[in-house]
Amino acid sequence: MIKEALIRVENLTKRFGELEVLKGITEEIHEGEVVSIIGPSGGGKSTFLRCLNLLEVPTSGKVIFEGVNIADKSVDLDLHRRKIGMVFQHFNVFPHLSVLDKEEAEKRGCELLSKVGLLDKKDEFPRKLSGGQKQRLAIVRAMAMQPDVILFDEPTSALDPEMVKDVLEVIKELADTGMTIVIVTHEMGFAKQISDRVFFMDGGIIAEQGTPEEVFLHPQNARTKEFLSKVL
């Protein structure tokens, strides 16, 4: 049974000056679903993801989150953003706060840090953490909000190769709990393993979408086939 749409975009467009980066995308992401977004650089993947929580404001179209069009300027955006976690490529953790700041609920923080193997680092400052540890901390920060969806924007692309596995394992464990996840990634094996659906984006559109088996093993779109032939 397909669950109801948690996020629905309707005719979503985004321009930067004369450049049209997103070209009228209409799509749904369902509750409890893991969606991986793959495709070449410059295809619109990160812009699409950032439009889902209005870090990028769409030029036109709707972004309907839990039944509310959050692209409508009359909506209290912050109220809805609290339910949308975000993990960035470059961690974006606060350097002046220790890993577990005193303002945070200690019990909740320790539980989450324990889940990602960082409990022993709870009093450290982020500058003392490795890239992989910072990214796991960024995931904890997103989880601490108790969001209904977490958006990941290429969470492993700034990491050394040996750190990638640990971060991907944390994301997989999160997916196994039923969390709704949308992830832009270059890790094709991971996308194949973790996803309920895969979006292939190129030229500002979702050129192909389907199950991992459909997209990776039986792609229909010529551009998808060309892309996968180079990366697999």
Residue 58: pLDDT over 60:
yes
Q: If we measure between CA atoms, which residue out of 10, 5, 9, 54 comes closest to residue 29?
A: 5
List of residues 6+ apart from 144 with CB closer than 8 A: 104, 108, 109, 112
Q: What is the pLDDT of residues 101-112, one digit of tens each?
A: 555 556 666 666
Confidence of residue 98 (pLDDT cuts 50, 70, 90): low
Distance CA 166, CA 9 (A): 32
Confidence of residue 115 (pLDDT cuts 50, 70, 90): low
Q: What is the pLDDT of residues 170-226, one digit of tens each?
A: 899 899 999 999 999 999 999 999 999 999 999 999 999 999 999 999 999 999 999
Q: What is the pTM of this model?
A: 0.85
